[in-house]
Amino acid sequence: MTTETRHFIELSEILAFEQECDSCHVRFLFELDRERRLSVTCPACNADLVSGDKDLEHLRTFIASLQYLRGRGEDLKGLRFQIEVLNTDGSKS
């Protein structure tokens, strides 16, 4: 018998996202429930965190959509997204 484990998350389970600077590896946490602007440059070393205006525009739209949809609560209950869970060495489960 073959079994397959699938992992799903609901919008309410997405609490934040993290940005990590490629240059100095400082990490920034963006909590979706708190007003905070997406960082374009690293406050620690001033390196670009987002490569271009188009990427920045899409990220801002994506974040705004996430914030809006999370606020819809019960109306979207039952909507789940499949995620991939990797082992600590980066391999697939």
Residue 90, SS3? coil
Tell me how far, at minimum, the Cβ of 47 lies from Zn ion, in Å.
5
Stretch that binds Zn ion, among 28-36, 44-52, 56-64, 73-81 (CB under 5 A): 44-52
DSSP tag of 24: T
Q: Which of 16, 40, 44, 86 binds Zn ion (CB under 5 A)?
A: 44
Q: Quick one: 29 or 83, whose CB is closer to Zn ion?
A: 29
**8 A C-beta contact, residue 47 and residue 28:** no
Encoding tokens for residue 22?
A: 């490629």
Count the residues of the shown chain that bind Zn ion, applying the rule CB under 5 A: 7
**Nearest CA-CA partner of 55 in 77, 35, 38:** 38
Residues that bind Zn ion (CB under 5 A): 21, 23-24, 42, 44-45, 47
